[in-house]
């Protein structure tokens, strides 16, 4: 939780998630899981391989989004840290909840700025153009509102932590059947 609070706070306040937050968390996760579960882990412990798998599952999709210019690198690194700390199933669930939080945040921003209809028209035009032989265009404009995506990811990870603590299973179990 401390990792999530620190990352969310800096993302909201400065628009960045710092390496000083993410890198130590990744190192602690890899070392801690190796010490606790060895290299391979067991039924109750991730081990090094489980922690690395969680890191990759949390990092890879957001690395692709970062490479396309959609998010910041800190967003990808915070999910790498979450995956390394908690494992691949948790990383998938946190991403799932984080995307839901991001959509809700985006709608709130668009409604508050009174640009919901204009934005939805741009998105529908983009989708239409994407499925026609003509070349599509990016639906974002310089005036497009930005949301702190790292905050959304932290909300998603916190939601999964709460669901697992309450033994509700979370998204990994209920949605994906894992």
Mean pLDDT by 10 residues, the chain (178 residues): 92 93 96 92 88 96 89 94 94 94 92 90 82 66 78 92 78 54
The long-range contacts involving 75-80, CB below 8 angstroms and separated by at least 24 positions, are 75/11, 75/17, 75/149, 75/150, 75/153, 77/17, 77/19, 77/22, 77/23, 77/26, 78/3, 78/7, 78/17, 78/21, 78/22, 78/150, 78/153, 78/154, 79/153, 80/22, 80/26, 80/55, 80/56
* Residue 85, domain extent: 2-174
Q: Give the count of domains, the chain.
A: 1
Q: What is the pLDDT of residue 119?
A: 87
Residue 69: its pLDDT value, please?
A: 82
Task: Please report the sign of the dihedral spanned by the C-alpha atoms of residue 110, residue 112, residue 113, residue 115.
Answer: positive
For 162, residues 6+ apart whose C-beta sits below 8 A from its C-beta are none
């Amino acid at each position: 939780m401390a990792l999530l609070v620190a990352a969310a706070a800096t993302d909201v306040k400065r628009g960045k998630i710092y390496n000083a937050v993410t890198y130590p968390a990744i190192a602690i996760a890899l070392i801690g899981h190796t010490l606790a579960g060895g290299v391979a882990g067991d039924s109750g412990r991730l081990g090094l391989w489980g922690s690395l798998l969680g890191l990759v599952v949390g990092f890879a999709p957001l690395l692709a989004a970062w490479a396309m210019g959609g998010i910041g690198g800190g967003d990808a690194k915070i999910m790498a840290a979450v995956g390394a700390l908690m494992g691949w199933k948790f990383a998938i669930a946190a991403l799932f909840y984080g995307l839901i939080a991001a959509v809700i945040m985006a709608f709130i921003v668009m409604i508050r700025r009174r640009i919901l209809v204009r934005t939805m028209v741009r998105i529908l035009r983009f989708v239409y153009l994407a499925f026609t032989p003509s070349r599509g265009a990016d639906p974002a404009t310089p005036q497009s509102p930005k949301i702190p995506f790292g905050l959304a990811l932290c909300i998603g990870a916190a939601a999964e932590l709460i669901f697992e603590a309450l033994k509700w299973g979370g998204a990994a179990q209920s949605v994906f059947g894992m």
